[in-house]
């Protein structure tokens, strides 16, 4: 099948590469010409395990190409995916300008029937706007072209996106046309070993499903983080509580790990957008606001623990940080807890040595340059270099190399043996037996 994917960011690139891997002819379109040039050279704008190999192999096989406009595609695709960004607007609502711009380009391009698939996370009702925008462009061209709009939200976890695409828990498809249904069923047939994983529904139902799924997961995280704060005050080990409730099949173990707050490109943005949708429809989003507020405070737990130990003036304190990305398996630092922590430390004149397995190039571009030029923030090349002569280690991201550290190496490197564990990766008794002063989340 001939497929076009508009947007070569995280969702678009994974979607395009995976469909090419399944034998389709895929063209990814991105208006960022520099990005397209780099992609043609095999240079990816993101880190995702296995993606670079998949992209380069399918480029070599002639199944995956990159262009900067739809007009460059000579054979008109049967399916066009819209996979552009939907960032938060100033008021927290999802910004649809890139989605509607893509729709306008589609209307100016198509000449024959095709299925337009919204892969971007969009508020309920945006599919209607996409339809109207495409139709308006066709009307300008005085063309009568049939097309169908489909909502097919993505459920890709950063760090496991290829696995999630190829072995999905479910595939949600919102549509109104039997013709589009047949095409989408054929498209996903190679990865659907169990047809019951394919859920057809209305377009609006599919649009809403994506937001509710992310908001539910964010709610579990914030609820458990709040319980961790309570456990901390009451002398309860939240990890034992987590094990106890996670054994209940009605609750399960997923997304109940206490930590220093959620981040990334999805949960923060989608919770905000769902709050705006609720307010727009005269529903008071009490739970959603609480989820967002708890996450705001949770990102400030690690900074508070540091100032509780060392005071507000950190000028003579050297701090080691393990982890900068918002989660393991990605270089994505959007809304990461590390950003709040580093800002807090820089404001108090701390000296910081930070290490992350993959996010350091992103950090160099994202963080204020004066933090580096002042010498107060250094990004080091090796994990244990971050510990040299530090007064405290702060674990922010639970990358696997951090989870089972060399305690003897840590003791030799650190000036003071203090650990603040933002992801509850370490056994407090083991750390204290090894003569470390240990602080976790709710333990």
Contacts of 346 (CB under 8 A, 6+ apart): 352, 368, 371, 376, 377
* Nearest residue to 45 via CA among 13, 79, 88, 6: 13
Contacts of 93 (CB under 8 A, 6+ apart): 123, 272, 273, 276, 277
Between strands 318-322 and 198-201, the pairing is unpaired
The neighbour count for residue 3, using CB atoms within 10 Å, is: 25
**What is the 3-class SS of 94-107, one letter each residue?**
ECCHHHHHHHHHHH
**φ, ψ for residue 245, nearest 5 deg:** -80, -30
Partners of 377 in beta bridges? 352
Q: What is the pLDDT of residue 91?
A: 87
> Is residue 299 a contact partner of residue 260, using CB atoms and an 8 Å limit?
yes
Q: What is the pLDDT of residue 188?
A: 96
Q: Residues with catalytic annotation?
A: 266
Q: What is the pLDDT of residue 69?
A: 97
- Alpha carbon distances (Å) from 418 to 133, 136, 298, 397: 58, 63, 21, 17
- Alpha carbon distances (Å) from 357 to 331, 376, 414: 9, 21, 20
Question: String of b and e for 172-207 (b: at least 16 CB within 10 Å)?
Answer: bbbbeeeebbebbeebbeebeeeeeebebeebbebb
Q: What is the pLDDT of residues 109-161, one digit of tens each?
A: 999 999 999 999 999 999 999 999 999 999 999 999 999 999 999 999 999 99
- Rounded to whole angstroms, how far apart are CA atoms 24 and 417? 55
Specify the 3-state DSSP secondary structure of 376. coil
The neighbour count for residue 44, using CB atoms within 10 Å, is: 17
Confidence (pTM): 0.94
Burial of residue 385 (number of CB atoms within 10 Å: 0-12, 13-18, 19+): middle
* Nearest residue to 376 via CA among 299, 300, 321: 321
- Which residue positions in the chain have pLDDT lower than 70? none
- Rounded to whole angstroms, how far apart are CA atoms 97 and 86? 8
Q: What is the pLDDT of residues 315-371, one digit of tens each?
A: 999 999 999 999 999 999 999 999 999 999 999 999 999 999 999 999 999 999 999
Specify the 3-state DSSP secondary structure of 395. strand
- Rounded to whole angstroms, how far apart are CA atoms 36 and 66? 6
């Amino acid at each position: 099948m001939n497929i076009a994917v508009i947007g070569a960011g995280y969702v678009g690139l994974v979607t395009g590469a995976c469909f090419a891997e399944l034998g389709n002819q895929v063209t990814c379109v991105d208006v960022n010409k520099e990005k397209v040039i780099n992609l043609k050279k095999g240079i990816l704008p993101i880190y995702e395990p296995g993606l670079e190999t998949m992209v380069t192999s399918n480029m070599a096989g002639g199944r995956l190409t990159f262009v900067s406009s739809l007009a460059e595609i000579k054979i008109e695709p049967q399916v066009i995916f819209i996979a552009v960004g939907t960032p938060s607007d100033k008021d927290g609502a999802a910004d649809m300008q890139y989605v509607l711009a893509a729709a306008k380009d589609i209307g100016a391009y198509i000449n024959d029937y095709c299925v337009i698939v919204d892969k971007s996370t969009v508020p309920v009702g945006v599919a209607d706007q996409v339809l109207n925008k495409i139709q308006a462009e066709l009307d300008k061209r005085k063309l009568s072209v049939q097309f169908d709009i489909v909502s097919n939200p993505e459920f890709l976890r950063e760090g496991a996106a290829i696995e999630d695409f190829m072995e999905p828990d479910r595939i949600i498809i919102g549509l109104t046309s039997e013709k589009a249904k047949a095409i989408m069923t054929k498209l996903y047939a190679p990865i659907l070993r169990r047809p019951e994983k394919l859920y057809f529904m209305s377009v609006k139902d599919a649009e809403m499903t994506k937001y509710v799924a992310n908001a539910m997961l964010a709610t579990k995280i914030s609820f458990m983080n709040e319980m961790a704060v309570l456990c901390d005050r009451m002398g309860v080990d939240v990890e034992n509580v987590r094990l106890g409730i996670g054994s209940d099949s009605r609750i399960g173990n997923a997304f109940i790990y206490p930590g220093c707050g959620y981040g990334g490109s999805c949960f923060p943005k989608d919770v905000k957008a769902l709050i705006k949708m609720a307010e727009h429809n005269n529903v008071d989003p009490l739970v959603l606001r609480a989820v967002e507020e708890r996450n705001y405070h949770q990102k400030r737990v690690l900074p508070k623990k540091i100032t509780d130990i060392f005071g507000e003036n950190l000028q003579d304190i050297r701090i080691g940080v393990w982890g900068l990305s918002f989660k393991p398996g990605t270089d994505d630092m959007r809304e990461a807890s590390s950003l709040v922590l580093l800002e807090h430390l820089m404001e108090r004149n701390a000296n910081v040595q930070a290490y992350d397995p993959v996010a350091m190039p992103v950090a160099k571009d994202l963080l204020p340059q004066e933090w580096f030029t002042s010498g107060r923030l250094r990004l080091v090349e090796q994990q244990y270099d971050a510990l040299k002569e530090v007064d405290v280690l702060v674990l922010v991201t639970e990358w696997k190399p951090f989870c089972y550290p060399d305690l003897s190496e840590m003791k030799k490197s650190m000036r003071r043996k203090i650990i603040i564990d933002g992801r509850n990766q370490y056994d407090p008794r083991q750390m204290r037996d090894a003569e470390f002063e240990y602080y976790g989340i709710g333990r």
